[in-house]
Structure 1
Amino acid sequence: MTALHRRALFAATLAVPALRGAAAQGTWPTRPVQMVNPWPAGGSSDTMTRLFAQRFTEVFGQQFVVENRAGASGTIGHNHVAQQRPDGYTLLFATNSTYAIAPHLLPQLPYDNRAAFTGISLVARTAQSLCVHPSLPVANIAEFLAYVRTHPGQVNFSSAGIGATSHLATELLMAAANLDMVHVPYRGGAPSAQAVLAGETKVSFIDAVTALPHRAAGTLKMLAVSTSARTPLAPDVPTLQEAGVAGFESSTDMALMAPAGLPAALTDRLAEAVRAAVNDPAFRQRIVAQGADPVGGTPAEFAVYWTRESEKWGTLIRARNIRAPT
C-alpha cells in the first residue's frame, strides 16, 4: 500500500463517525423518545406534556412517551434528564418553578442548573388569578389592597408549597404593594385551591382555568390575573398591572429542554416543531382550552428569557428571605 493510499484510508476512517452522526441526526428519531415530566400525572404541566407528545408523535413518526418523575420541586426529574445522553431520545418538559426558582431555594442540587441542560423553547404560559373567599368583603383589587393594609398579618393565603409559583406570585404582590399576609403552604395546587374554597385560607393565586367554574358558581371571587395581558379565558378580569400594581407579572411557564450538548441542528429542529405547533390554529386552540397561552420561540430567545426569569425570582427570594423547609 502506498503512502497516498494509507493517507486516504486514514482520512476515510476518521470520516466514518462524523458521517454516522450526521446520518443519525438527519434520520432522528428512529426509536421512541422519552418526554420526562417532573411533576405528578394529572396536573396542568402533565396535560400539556401529553398534548405535545401526541403532536410530536404525529409530526416525527415515532412514539413520544411521557414519563412522570415527580418530587423535590421537580428536581428529581431534572436530575434524571441531566444524566442522559444528548441524542434527542430524552427530552424534559420543565416549568419555571424548577428551572428558575428551585435553584435559589435548593442550593445543593445534584446538577448544574444551566450547564446540565440544553434550552430549546418556551412552550406555553399559564395565567394565575388572584382569588379570594366570598367572605372577604372586597369586590376588586383596590378594595383588596385597602383591606389587607388595614388588617396586617390577619389575612392568610395558601399556595401549592414553598417556592411554588403560587407562593412566589403572592410574595411578589406583597413586596410590590407593601402587604403583610400569612403564608399557609399546601402540598400541591389542588389542595391549595380547596383551602380557599373551604374558607381555611382567604387568598390564593390559582390557575385561571381552575378558578373559572368556582367563580361562576359564586364560591370564589376572581379579582385579577397575574400576567401582563388579560387571559382570553376571562377577558373581563383585569391584570394586576391594570389594577395599579405597577410592573407585576407572574405565570407558570412551561419549556422544552434536553440534556446538555444536544446538537444545534437537532435543537433547532425541535424548536421549529414547537413553533409550528403553537402556530397551528387547531393545536393552538387545544392549548388555550387548557388555560394556557401558546408561546414558542428560538433557543437563543429562551436563553435570554431563562437568565431574566432566574434573576427575577432569585432577587425576590433573597429580598423576602424565603427559605425551603429543612
Structure 2
Amino acid sequence: MTTLHRRALLAATLAVPALRTANAQTPWPARPVTMVNPWPAGGSSDTMTRLFAQRFGQIFGQNVVVENRAGASGTIGHNHVAQQRPDGYTLLFATNSTYAIAPHLISPLPYDNRAAFTGISLVARTAQSVCVHPSVPVNTIQDFLAYVRARPGEINFSSAGIGATSHLATELLMAAAGLNMVHVPYRGGAPSAQAVIAGETKMSFIDAITALPHRAGGTLKVLAVSTATRSPLAQDVPTLQEAGVAGFESSTDMALMAPANLPEPIAARLSQAVRAAVTDAAFRQQIIAQGADPVGSSPAEFATYWTAESEKWGGLIRSRGIRMPG
C-alpha cells in the first residue's frame, strides 16, 4: 500500500465518526411532517388542524401534511400516533373529547392515555352556545333554566353522541343548575344541531360559529356561551357563569401532542411555534374567525391542564352514571 493510499484510508476512517455525529445532529425537521387529525375532514377540528399545519410549514420550512384517521371518538387516530416513532415526524392534533373524556367511557383503550403521548401545547378553545328551538317560549338563559326546572323530564336535548363535549356540557349544566332533561344522542355535531333547528329536540350545546348564522336567520335562539369569558364572535351573549351557574366552564379544547418520549428540544420548538403562531395578529384572527380562542402553553403547563381536565370530566361521568351503549 502506497503512502498516498495509507493517507486516504486514514482520512476516510477519521471521517466516519464525524459523519455519524453530523447525522445524529441533523436539525429537525429534515423532511415533511405528518399531523394526524383523529376526526373526519371538514369539521372544525380539521379546519384548525390545517391552519396550524400551514403555519408550521412556514415556521419550519418543511411541508406539514394533514392525515385524517377518524373513528371511535378519536381513539383510532390516537392509537395510530401512539405506535409511531417519537422523532417529531408524526404529530397529533387532539381534542379533549378524546384525551380527557374518552378514557372514562371506553374500556379498555388500545393505548395508555397518558403514557403513550407527549403533551406539547393547548392551541385553541372553542366556545359552545346554549341553543334552543324558537318555539321554546324564553328569551334569556335565566328564563330557560326556570322553564326547564318547572318541567322535569319533559324537555329533550340533542348531542353529537354519548361522551361528546355537547353531551357532557349539558350533563354539567343539569348537575350545576338542578335540571332534568332527556338526552337524544346523534351521530355528530351537524345532525345534532339540525335536530334543534328542525324542532326534533328543544335544546343543545352547539359550537358558536355554527349557531350564530342560525341565530341571525331566526332558526335558533342563542341564550348563553359555555366558556368563562364571552365569545369574540358574540360579545352580546352572556356566559353561563354570568347567568348565575357558578363555576360553569365547558369548551372543545384542541391540543398538539406527539408519541411518548418525544425529545425535549423538539417538544420545546413545537411549543414555541404554537405560542409564536397564536401571538401573531393575523394568525390569531384566522383562529377567531373559526369561532375559537387562541391558546398557547408549555409542555409542563399542558400536563397540569390535562390532569385537571381529565379529573373534571371523569368525576362528572361517574357522578352522572354515564355509560357507552353496548
**Which of the five TM-score ranges fits, normalised by the shorter chain?**
over 0.9
Matching residue's letter, 1:315: G
Give 1:22 shift: 4.9
Paired residue for 1:217? Answer: 217
Give 1:59 shift: 1.1
Give 1:31 shift: 1.1
Paired residue for 1:146? Answer: 146
Paired residue for 1:189? Answer: 189
1:166 and 2:159 aligned: no
Matching residue's letter, 2:257: M
Instruction: For residue 124 of structure 1, give the secondary structure of its aligned residue in structure 2.
Output: strand
Paired residue for 2:25? Answer: 23
Q: Distance in 2 between matches of 1:17 and 1:203?
A: 64
Instruction: For residue 205 of structure 1, give the secondary structure of its aligned residue in structure 2.
Output: strand
Give 1:58 shift: 1.1
Instruction: For residue 318 of structure 1, give the secondary structure of its aligned residue in structure 2.
Output: helix
Q: Distance in 1 between matches of 2:207 and 2:20?
A: 47
C-alpha distance after superposition, 1:245-273 (max 9, x if no partner): 00000000000000001000100000000
Q: Distance in 1 between matches of 2:170 and 2:218?
A: 23
Query: Over alpha carbons, which structure has the higher Rg?
Result: 2
Identical residues among aligned pairs (%): 79
Q: Could you tell me the TM-score, scaled by structure 2's length?
A: 0.94
Q: Distance in 1 between matches of 2:167 and 2:225?
A: 15
C-alpha distance after superposition, 1:140-199 (max 9, x if no partner): 111111110111111000000000000000000000001000000000000000000000
Paired residue for 1:296? Answer: 296
Instruction: For residue 62 of structure 2, give the secondary structure of its aligned residue in structure 1.
Output: coil
Matching residue's letter, 1:29: P
Q: Alpha carbon RMSD of aligned pairs, Å? A: 1.6
Matching residue's letter, 1:19: T
| Counterparts in 2 of 1:175 and 1:184: CA distance versus 1, 3 Å | same
1:199 and 2:208 aligned: no
Instruction: For residue 173 of structure 1, give the secondary structure of its aligned residue in structure 2.
Output: helix
Paired residue for 2:157? Answer: 157
Paired residue for 1:66? Answer: 66
Give 1:19 shift: 3.4
Paired residue for 2:6? Answer: none
Q: Distance in 1 between matches of 2:73 and 2:185?
A: 13
1:177 and 2:177 aligned: yes
Q: Distance in 2 between matches of 1:228 and 1:17?
A: 54
Hey, which bits of structure 1, 4+ residues long, moved more than 2 A?
15-22
Q: Distance in 2 between matches of 1:39 and 1:99?
A: 13
Paired residue for 1:227? Answer: 227
Matching residue's letter, 2:229: A
Give 1:18 shift: 8.5
Paired residue for 2:8? Answer: none
* Gaps in structure 2 of 5+ consecutive residues: 1-13
* Gaps in structure 1 of 5+ consecutive residues: 1-11
